[in-house]
Amino acid sequence: MPIDPFTLEIHGHLFAQVTEEMGAVLGRAALSPNVRDRRDYSCAVFDARGEMIAQAAHIPVHLGAAPLSVQAVIAALELGPGEHALVNDPYAGGTHLPDLTLVSPVFLGSGDRPRLYVANRAHHADVGGHSPGSMGVATRLEDEGIVIPPSRLDDALIERFLERARGADERLADLRAQVAANEAGMARLREIAANMGEAAMLAAASDLVAYSEARTRSTIATMPRGSFAFRDVLDDDGAGTRDIGIAARIVIDGQGVVIDLRESHDEVEGNVNAPRAIAVSAAFYVMRALLDRDVPTNGGVLRAIDLRTRRGSVVDATAPRAVAGGNVETSQRIVDVLLGALAMAMPDRIPAASQGTMNNVAFGGERADGSSWAFYETLAGGAGASPNGPGRSGVHTHMTNTRNTPVEVLERAYPLRIVRYGLRRGSGGAGRHRGGDGIVREYELGEPATISLLGERRRHAPWGLSGGRAGARGADWLVRGRTGRIEPIPAKCTLALEPGDRVIVETPGGGGWGCP
């Protein structure tokens, strides 16, 4: 019998708190600024089949795809007590290679098989790609770093990973933090099972997922029925292909939602290809955003979505296509087109386009002692305005949810200096409600290094809605230290820099809403 609503609410918070505690352990134990300070990680709890029971309020692009990684591990390995599995293969539920997912089985009582799983996904600042940061322009997956199919975490695997990755001390510390996070989650779940009984806990988990499915379908029943389509484009793939179309058709029938992305562009040479897991993440995120805030975020939301993709397209790519940009950039554009389609159905609920990019910046090089270093961050921008008010300025939007890298932390850890950092005033689109402003961040090199940029919305601006104007496009600049010459640089590039060179990244603003 289903448990009562009050107990259901308590259990929902209980499972969610387990994932939040896992995240707190991971953040406190990590060493790299990207994980420790920016909190580029996510944690979740899953049932024995790999369906998500609860997640922390971490990174949307991680969490929607995480069940596929857990299910890939379950299919490939029989993990025993105390064992962990590591995976980053984008074609086995991963997102892109820097995102390492650690999956651990939870055994309860005297059972001889896992009853639950815990998992966390953390973005490592380097995984051995051809360019430092492992986010450079690439055309093959192997050029982006080490590929790890579902594998037992053991000394041999760790050694193989550290041999490839730059900044081995940071990588090892972050990986150990991931293990500590899962251990904390496993301990807490065993404690809950001991307190309330294994059967009762598992029943509560099942009821939570069913409840979220029911609430999702109830929300869909209130939405206008019909078929709604929208199309947008990625600027380019970094390898010569421009205007890469992402097309969505959403069919609402009162019971569920069909999300059809099959008319999107074929997969391309560059690295904006997205494995299907990314499309799943984007669909999950958009549907969750339509629900009331009290609905538990779990696999029940996905049960109401029929996602259709075409194998060999840019939103359902095939191995060995490069995918680093698919995770961070194509995911954002899928969200844009899904929101654009929904705006046709519900113009009073949907915001204008946000910046539509994560503005990825990766540096790396060798120190005087011969050791390597790598730094990675994403940059905030403008949020789209909505019928309810203006968009926020200088925030991460949609598929990313990380923090800012503190200037003091960055400058202490790496041979970099932040010369300028602030809002890009006036970059939000005009409208009855104005879009949020992007930011400007200017880096100066203290030693020779390589930089990779991976950004979007430099050619096609974030669109406005209901008469609102588009937000300003982003821009990227290089200032040569020797000459002071300023020159524009592509948003997808890898460059060798000298001490004194400066890189300026101007991020896009959000679109405006309503006629000015």
pLDDT given at position 300: 96
Give domain status of residue 312, yes or no.
no
Residue 121 structural domain? 5-213
11-33 per-position pLDDT tens digit: 999 999 999 999 999 999 999 99
What's the average model confidence in pLDDT over 94-105?
Answer: 96
146-168 per-position pLDDT tens digit: 999 999 999 999 999 999 999 99
Classify 186 in phi/psi space as left (phi over 0), alpha (psi -120 to 50) or beta. alpha
Give domain status of residue 306, yes or no.
no
Confidence of residue 3 (pLDDT cuts 50, 70, 90): low
Q: Single out the residue in 186, 213, 240 at which a domain terminates.
A: 213
pLDDT given at position 369: 87
Q: Single out the residue in 153, 186, 213 at which a domain terminates.
A: 213
Give domain status of residue 280, yes or no.
no
pLDDT given at position 2: 58
The amino acid occupying position 420 is R
Res 110 pLDDT > 80:
no
Query: In angstroms, what CA-CA distances link 329 with 93, 97, 169, 234, 267?
Result: 18, 15, 29, 8, 14
For residue 493, what is the DSSP state?
E
449-476 per-position pLDDT tens digit: 999 999 999 999 999 999 999 999 999 9
19-69 per-position pLDDT tens digit: 999 999 999 999 999 999 999 999 999 999 999 999 988 888 887 889 999
Give domain status of residue 324, yes or no.
no
Give domain status of residue 111, yes or no.
yes
What's the average model confidence in pLDDT over 351-372?
Answer: 95
178-191 per-position pLDDT tens digit: 999 999 999 999 99
- Distance between CA atoms of 445 and 411, rounded to whole angstroms? 10
Give domain status of residue 219, yes or no.
no
Task: Give the angle 256-257-259 at the CA atoms, nearest 5°.
Answer: 155
What's the average model confidence in pLDDT over 123-152?
Answer: 97
Q: Single out the residue in 158, 190, 213 at which a domain terminates.
A: 213
Query: In angstroms, what CA-CA distances link 17 with 35, 41, 63, 177, 320?
Result: 20, 16, 16, 18, 38
Point out which residues pair with 421 in neighbouring strands. 441
Give domain status of residue 234, yes or no.
no
First to last CA, the chain: 55
pLDDT given at position 182: 98
- Distance between CA atoms of 129 and 136, rounded to whole angstroms? 8
Give domain status of residue 260, yes or no.
no
Q: Which of 54, 46, 52, 49 is nearest to 20 (CA)?
A: 54
Tally of domains in the chain: 2
356 and 208 both lie in a single domain: no
Q: What is the mean pLDDT of the chain?
A: 96
